[in-house]
Amino acid sequence: MHFGSEGPTYITGGLLNVNTEWVKSRSPYIVQGDLTIASGKRLTINHGVEVKFEYNASLTINGEISAIGWDSDKIIFT
């Protein structure tokens, strides 16, 4: 996974085995492969984040996901 100071942020896929937070300033997050959230781990997606999945990329949640947007600052998945 690539985490720069500003977006876009490219997520190559694989196993997410640490608690992770995706923030608006690094958005959009571009998921390029199959991403799995490990059991017992959490992915937090903050308000205002855009998540884009490339063709055939997927998200499997064996742990937890928290994604809470606001009316004025939605989370967008495409």
List, for residues 13-69, the tens digit of each pLDDT value.
999 999 999 999 999 999 999 999 999 999 999 999 999 999 999 999 999 999 999
pTM here? 0.89
Residue 77 tokens, joined: 């998945």
Tell me how far apart the alpha carbons of residues 59 and 34 are, in angstroms, rounded to a whole number.
6
